[in-house]
């Protein structure tokens, strides 16, 4: 397989193809007749997915640096280039994104019943933007992709969303836009500061990283600008208020895309840009204290608020705030374990929360309500749906043997040395997580079947099983055998830790030294 | 065609080729409409003839630009540099689009009179003079030629009170501004004994800025402030844009602004490059207030046209950020941004002009509800324009904004860019509702948008503009390089003592 892929020059064109295929697909969808739009989108999505699989073979897990690199001058006078590449930090986000595509189309099959061409076209455009964020290695290009995907998401929420959709879409847009605008100024300033001292004005990631020392005098506000953009996206605790609205009102595909990819762009941004560029400031005791406090607050707060939500979709939405707190904690702990754990949580949360949103969407299609109180005893009429939901919920809670456990465990293990108290507090969330999800499951699926409307709920059909089964299988597989993922992310995590380590003030548990042996 | 002697009649004629060609053509059009001005077709004929005139002037600009004409020694009266040609190109583009957008509009709104197009040509001629002026006197003449024509255009809808009000308001305040400018010119002349910009620069370089010259500079800034509608000299703009025929509102928001900014940058960089300590704080203050006020007041507008009026005030603030830099990069950014802004704003006004009901001048945000389902093309085009005004990546507006930020940051200025992006954020609050109204709300009634008709001329103008927004938004290398190069030639012929210090 590898030999074949090498022979067709896979490494050279794959990223370009992944970015271009959705756009071509978008044009095809717009031109196709109305009833064929979803079929066209599905074919494009499947094609993209199959093509992207080769990355698993070609990717060399032992190389810490970028692979699949392509670099073409774009605006040469201004040091902007089309510069893309992949490494251990981004490979699984790209794969997650491409493998999700067919499921998204399939999951929207009947739910989207008007303006279908527009919907699938935007869904594909969104994909290009998301993939672009993870592969762009030029900050100008990165910023373009980062902002570009706002537009499709804005329309997907605003046109095909439920009830309060216009409010949610505008809030989503303005929140995320406000974060990223300051990042634009910071990017321009960085390039200028570095350029003035080295004589080369370049937006290339590695060039700026190599000269990150020059940025040190300006680090506080540059970091703040970046951190704000990423913190809104994650979302870190006080910046999270857009998320329940956006998640709650978006159509299923939108919620899933938000949960699986969009939120991860924030944590990816911290790992890739904010901390490596300004490690001394970002990991200084004061900033660390603030971030860790916010992360732990988010973990606990998300879980507690989740517990009292009457709307099933909002339960899942708030649980994201909680899960992503773990990622932030792991990133700031900066041990190989915690960083790998953070990446694992990113992937695991993508799978389980994505699946939960799909399942909630399926419930909604049947009953046109998402209020927990309207349900009860659904397991009796729809056992498959109940089983799938339960497995997914267990994965989300972090039951050993399923995917959620691996990442959260690694984060807690890796962070304990650095932040013992914060980690201890964060650990308690496992109880809350069990509480809010199990309680929700109980009220939706297992209480007596009191409401006669629930008696007619159909069980999962073949199309829906085709969406759910791959996700559940991936959860189980990741939980039992995470090695393939850990192996491919290790070099990048190690690289990140080496970069961060010198800037960490020795804390109470600085002896977390030989981290790798623990695994 | 090198080293033109600007003191010889032939030399000046060649140097003024675009203006001369346009003026001659105006005479031709004037003769034609004196002879034929009664029927509907005559108005169309005048429009098409005017368009030809704009094209001829464009050819003349191209001849000068590609021919690389340069003055022998100090440029007297008129500049021969890329900055002038760049501004000219934008102005002619604006004029051509305005005519295309107006052809059917004046017919539909019963403003038929062939003089309409002639006045657009006259204003354009004035703008060309203004953008190319190397001498305070030429500058003032150009400004007046432009302004007087635009006063008349603003009041062209003589059956409507708001239009008359707009014209009178614009005339009174414009005359006021002209007086400031003239007084400023007089004071600067008193201080230096020169009216030529380069010579003024030479005189001022040798000694610290006198009080007289400083006062003159201040008055000049006030005069320009009125013309570009910078806060606190903006009061006239919303009412005038609202009352004027819509394509003319677009013309004023883009052409007048472009010409005035080109002249302002030239005056500051050629005549007052040594006085940055005096004018930079003033420009910074103007930029700050303009961005903040323009954006916040735009939030409260219900009428799309008034919203665009306030947004155009905010955009003037953005341009001032690059003017503040006072560098070649800044001048290039101004040039590029004016191009980006003009293309986008004109297209927006053009779309609005076609949406307007006959006899009514206001389009409320709510009037656009559900436009997408009836007229998807128009809704899509307007959305793209608004996103470009918002400065969204993938559009021309983003590249322009990025360039402005770069110009300010390169001079170590961070406050202005940050205020600018905060202003941009606020602007999302009034651009988005328009887009949402068009795409996300249901149409009020089936008939609501049926009567929206785009003439093919307007369609072509808007399509070209939108194509430019998208294509140059992704591949901006061509216009970017042109803008930068044109800025580099600014003040060519200026003694090296002056240009070398920054």
Residues of A with CB under 8 A from a CB of B: 74-78, 143-145, 147-148, 151, 154-155, 158-159, 165-166, 169-170, 173-174, 177-178, 181-182, 184-185, 188-189, 192, 221
pLDDT score, position B124? 95
- Please list every residue in chain A whose beta carbon sits closer than 8 Å to the beta carbon of residue B410: 192
Paired tokens of A519:
């695994």
The pLDDT of residue B143 is: 93
- A205: which residues sit within 8 A by CB, 6+ positions away? A83, A137, A138, A139, A142, A272, A273
pLDDT in tens, A263-312: 999 999 999 999 999 988 988 889 999 999 999 999 999 999 998 888 88
Q: Do B421 and A75 touch (CB under 8 A)?
A: no
* A221, closest residue in chain B (CA to CA): B414
Please compute the mean of the pLDDT values over residues A389-407 and round it to a whole number. 88
Q: Alpha carbon A252 to chain centroid distance?
A: 16
Q: Give which of B421, B435, B485 to mutate to test A binding, by max A Cβ within 10 Å.
A: B421
Segment A135-145 shows an average pLDDT of: 92
pLDDT digits (tens, 9 = 90+) for A164-186: 888 999 899 988 888 888 898 89
Closest Cα in chain B to A114: B373
Per-residue pLDDT tens over the stretch B435-487:
988 888 887 766 767 777 778 888 899 999 999 999 998 888 888 888 888 88
- Exposed, middle or buried: residue A318 (CB in 10 Å: 0-12, 13-18, 19+)? buried
pLDDT confidence of residue B491: 60
ipTM summary value: 0.88
Contact of B380 with chain A, judged by CB distance below 8 Å, is answered with no
Which residue would you say has higher pLDDT here, A469 or A162? A469
Check residues B29 and B157 and name the one with the higher pLDDT. Answer: B29
The model's confidence at residue B358, banded by pLDDT at 50, 70 and 90, is low
Chain A residues whose beta carbon lies within 8 Å of the beta carbon of residue B406 = 78, 188, 192
Q: Are B482 and B86 in contact (CB under 8 A)?
A: yes
Write down the pLDDT at residue B2: 62
pLDDT at A505: 64
Nearest CA in chain B to A179: B425
Q: State the best of A126, A140, A172, A181 to mutate against chain B, taking most chain B CBs within 10 Å.
A: A181
B394 inside 8 A of chain A by CB: yes
Specify the range with the lowest mean pLDDT, choosing from A124-133, A226-235, B101-110: B101-110
* Nearest partner of B40 among B118, B116, B113, judged by Cα: B113
HEC-encoded secondary structure of A49-71: HHHHHHHHHHCCCCCCCCEEEEE
Q: Are B269 and B491 in contact (CB under 8 A)?
A: yes
Structure tokens at B501: 């210090």
The string of DSSP codes covering A354-397 is: HHHHHHHHHHHHHHS--BGGG---HHHH-HHHHHHHHHHHHHHH
Calculate the alpha carbon distances from B408 to A185, B401, B413 in Å: 10, 11, 5
Instruction: Please say if the pLDDT value at position A366 is more than 70.
Output: yes
pLDDT recorded at residue A454? 80
**Is residue B8 within 8 angstroms of chain A, CB to CB?**
no
Position of tokens 């929360």? Answer: A353
Q: How distant is the Cα of A137 from the closest Cα of chain B, in angstroms?
A: 17
Residues in CB range of B321: below 8 A, 6 or more apart: B287, B291, B404, B405, B407, B408, B416, B417, B420
> B4: helix, coil or strand?
strand
User: pLDDT by residue (tens digit) across B362-388?
Assistant: 788 888 888 888 888 888 999 999 999
Among B393, B410, B441, the residue with its CB nearest the CB of A148 is B393
Instruction: Tell which residue, B97, B67, B101, has the closest CA to residue B82.
Output: B67
Supply the pLDDT for residue A290: 92
Average pLDDT score over chain B: 88
- Mean pLDDT for the stretch of residues A445-472: 85
Q: What pLDDT score does A512 carry?
A: 43
Answer for the pair A340, A489: CB distance below 8 angstroms, yes or no: yes
DSSP-assigned beta bridge partners for residue B303:
B364
Q: How far is CA A362 from the centre of its chain?
A: 22
pTM here is 0.91
A43 CA: distance to closest CA in chain B (Å): 27
Contact B406 A188 (CB under 8 A): yes
Count CB neighbours of B186 within 10 A: 15
State the smallest CA–CA distance between residue A30 and chain B in angstroms.
Answer: 13
Q: Quick one: A307 exposed, middle or buried, by C-beta within 10 A (0-12, 13-18, 19+)?
A: middle
Quickly state the pLDDT bin for A61 (edges 50, 70, 90).
Answer: confident
Would you say residue B98 has pLDDT above 60? yes
In the predicted structure, residue A498 carries a pLDDT above the cut 70: yes
Comparison of pLDDT for A81 and A162, the residue scoring more: A81
> How much of chain B exceeds pLDDT 70, in percent?
96
What pLDDT, on the 0 to 100 scale, is given for residue B80?
Answer: 85
Mean pLDDT for A24-40 is 87
What's the mean pLDDT in B205-224? 89
Question: Are the Cβ atoms of A158 and B436 closer than 8 angstroms?
Answer: yes
- The DSSP letter of residue B31 is H
Predicted confidence band of residue B490 (pLDDT cuts 50, 70, 90): confident
Among B residues 415-454, those touching chain A with beta carbons less than 8 Å apart: 417-418, 421-422, 424-425, 428-429, 432-433, 436, 439-441
Is the pLDDT reported for residue B110 higher than 60? yes
């Amino acid at each position: 397989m590898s030999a074949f892929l090498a022979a067709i020059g896979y490494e050279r064109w794959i990223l370009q193809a992944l970015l271009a295929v959705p756009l071509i697909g978008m044009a095809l969808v717009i031109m196709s007749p109305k009833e064929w739009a979803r079929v066209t989108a599905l074919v494009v999505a499947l094609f993209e997915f199959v093509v992207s699989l080769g990355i698993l073979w070609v990717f060399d897990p032992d190389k810490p640096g970028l692979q699949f690199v392509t670099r073409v001058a774009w605006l040469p006078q201004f040091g902007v280039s089309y510069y893309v590449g992949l490494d251990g930090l981004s490979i699984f986000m790209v794969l997650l994104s491409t493998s999700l595509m067919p499921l998204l189309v399939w999951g929207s099959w009947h739910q989207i019943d008007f303006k279908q061409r527009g919907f699938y076209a935007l869904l594909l455009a969104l994909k290009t933007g998301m993939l672009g964020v993870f592969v762009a290695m030029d900050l100008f290009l990165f910023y373009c992709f980062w902002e570009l995907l706002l537009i499709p998401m804005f329309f997907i929420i605003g046109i095909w969303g439920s009830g309060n959709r216009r409010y949610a879409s505008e809030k989503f847009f303005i929140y995320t836009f406000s974060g990223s605008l300051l990042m634009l100024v910071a990017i321009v300033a960085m390039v200028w500061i570095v350029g003035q001292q080295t004589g080369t004005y370049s937006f290339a990631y590695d060039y700026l990283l190599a000269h990150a020392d020059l940025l040190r005098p300006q680090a506080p506000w540059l970091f703040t600008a970046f951190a704000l953009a990423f913190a809104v996206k994650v979302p870190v605790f006080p910046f999270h208020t857009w998320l329940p609205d956006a998640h709650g009102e978006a159509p299923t595909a939108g919620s899933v895309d938000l949960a699986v990819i969009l939120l991860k762009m924030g944590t990816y941004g911290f790992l890739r840009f904010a901390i490596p560029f300004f490690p001394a400031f970002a990991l200084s005791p004061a900033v660390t204290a603030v971030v860790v406090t916010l992360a732990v607050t988010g973990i606990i707060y998300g879980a507690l608020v989740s517990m009292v939500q009457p709307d099933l979709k909002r339960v899942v939405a708030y649980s994201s705030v909680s899960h992503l707190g773990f990622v932030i904690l792991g990133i700031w702990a900066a041990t190989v374990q915690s960083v790998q754990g953070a990446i694992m949580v990113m992937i695991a949360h993508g799978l389980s929360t994505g699946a939960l949103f799909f399942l909630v969407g399926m419930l909604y299609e049947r009953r046109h309500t998402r209020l927990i109180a309207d349900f009860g005893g659904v397991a009796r009429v729809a056992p498959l749906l109940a089983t799938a939901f339960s497995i997914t919920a267990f994965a989300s809670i972090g039951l050993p043997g399923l995917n959620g456990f691996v990442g959260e465990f690694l984060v807690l293990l890796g962070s304990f040395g650095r932040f013992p108290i914060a980690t201890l507090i964060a650990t308690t969330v496992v109880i809350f997580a069990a509480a809010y999800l199990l309680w929700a499951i109980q009220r939706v699926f297992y209480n007596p079947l009191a409401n006669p409307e629930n008696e007619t709920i159909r069980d999962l059909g073949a199309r829906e099983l085709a969406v759910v089964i791959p996700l559940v299988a991936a959860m189980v597989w990741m939980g039992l055998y995470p090695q393939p993922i850990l192996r491919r992310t290790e070099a990048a995590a190690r690289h990140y830790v080496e970069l961060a380590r010198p800037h960490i003030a020795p804390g109470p548990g600085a002896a977390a030294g030989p981290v790798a042996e623990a695994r | 065609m090198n080293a033109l002697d600007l003191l010889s009649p032939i030399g000046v004629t060649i140097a003024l080729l675009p203006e001369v060609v346009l003026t001659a053509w105006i005479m031709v059009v004037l003769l034609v409409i004196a002879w034929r001005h009664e029927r509907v077709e005559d108005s169309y004929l005048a429009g098409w003839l005017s368009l030809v005139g704009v094209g001829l002037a464009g050819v003349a600009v191209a001849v000068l630009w590609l021919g690389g004409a340069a003055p022998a020694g100090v440029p007297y009266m008129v500049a021969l540099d890329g900055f002038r040609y760049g501004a000219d190109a934008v102005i002619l583009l604006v004029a051509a689009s305005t005519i295309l957008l107006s052809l059917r509009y004046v017919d539909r709104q019963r403003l038929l009179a062939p003089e309409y197009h002639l006045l657009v040509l006259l204003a354009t001629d004035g703008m060309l003079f203004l953008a190319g002026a190397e001498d305070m006197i030429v500058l003032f003449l150009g400004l007046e030629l432009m302004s007087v024509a635009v006063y008349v255009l603003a009041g062209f809808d003589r059956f409507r009170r708001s239009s008359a009000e707009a014209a009178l308001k614009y005339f009174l305040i414009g005359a006021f501004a002209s007086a400031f400018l003239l007084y400023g010119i007089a004071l600067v002349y008193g201080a230096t004994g020169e009216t030529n910009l380069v010579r003024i620069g030479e005189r001022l370089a040798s000694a610290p800025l006198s009080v007289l010259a400083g006062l003159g500079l201040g008055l000049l800034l006030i005069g320009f402030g009125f013309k570009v509608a910078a806060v606190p000299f903006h009061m006239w703009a919303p009412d005038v844009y609202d009352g004027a025929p819509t394509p003319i509102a677009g013309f004023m928001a883009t052409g007048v602004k472009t010409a005035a900014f080109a002249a302002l940058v030239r005056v500051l960089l050629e005549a007052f490059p040594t006085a940055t300590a005096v004018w930079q704080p003033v420009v910074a203050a103007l930029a700050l207030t303009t961005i903040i006020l323009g954006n916040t007041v735009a939030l409260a507008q219900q009428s799309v046209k008034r919203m665009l009026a306030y947004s155009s005030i905010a955009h003037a603030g953005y341009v001032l950020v690059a003017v503040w830099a006072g560098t070649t990069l800044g001048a290039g950014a101004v040039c590029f941004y004016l191009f980006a802004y003009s293309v986008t704003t004109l297209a927006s006004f053009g779309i609005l002009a076609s949406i307007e009901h006959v006899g009514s001048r206001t389009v409320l945000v709510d009037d656009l509800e559900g436009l997408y389902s009836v007229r998807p093309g128009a809704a899509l085009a307007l959305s793209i324009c608004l996103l470009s005004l918002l400065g969204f990546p993938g559009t021309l507006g983003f590249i322009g904004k990025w360039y402005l930020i770069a110009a300010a940051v390169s001079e170590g200025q961070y406050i202005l860019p940050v205020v600018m992006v905060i202003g941009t954020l606020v602007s999302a609050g009034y651009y988005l509702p328009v887009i949402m109204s068009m795409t996300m709300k249901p149409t009020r009634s089936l008939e609501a948008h049926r009567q929206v008709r785009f003439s093919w001329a307007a369609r072509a103008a808007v399509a070209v503009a939108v194509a430019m927004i998208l294509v140059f938004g992704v591949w901006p290398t061509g216009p970017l390089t042109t803008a930068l190069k044109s800025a580099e030639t600014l003040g060519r012929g200026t003694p090296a003592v002056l240009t070398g210090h920054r």
